Amino acid sequence: MTKPLVEAERTIRLVSHEGETFDTDLLTATTSGYIKEYLQANGDMPEQEQEQLTAVISLPFVRSPILSKILTWAQHHKAEQELSAWDAEFLNMDGTTLLELAMMAYFLDIKGLLEMTAAAVAKGIMMEP
Q: Is residue 1 part of a domain?
A: no
Among left, alpha and beta (phi > 0; psi -120 to 50; other), residue 19 is left
Higher pLDDT, 3 or 90: 90
Domain range holding 89?
7-127
Condensed to tens digits (0 to 9), the pLDDT of residues 16-52 reads: 999 999 999 999 999 999 999 999 898 766 555 454 4
Which residues, including other chains, have CB under 8 Å from residue 119's CB and lie 6 or more apart? none
pLDDT beyond 50 at 12: yes
What pLDDT is attached to residue 129?
Answer: 56
Which residues, including other chains, have CB under 8 Å from residue 97's CB and lie 6 or more apart? 65, 66, 69
CATH number at residue 74: 3.30.710.10
What pLDDT is attached to residue 53?
Answer: 59
What pLDDT is attached to residue 127?
Answer: 66
Q: Is residue 16 part of a domain?
A: yes
- The CA distance from 92 to 108, in Å, is 21
SS3 46: coil
Indicate the average pLDDT of the chain: 85
Q: Is residue 81 part of a domain?
A: yes
Number of structural domains, the chain? Answer: 1
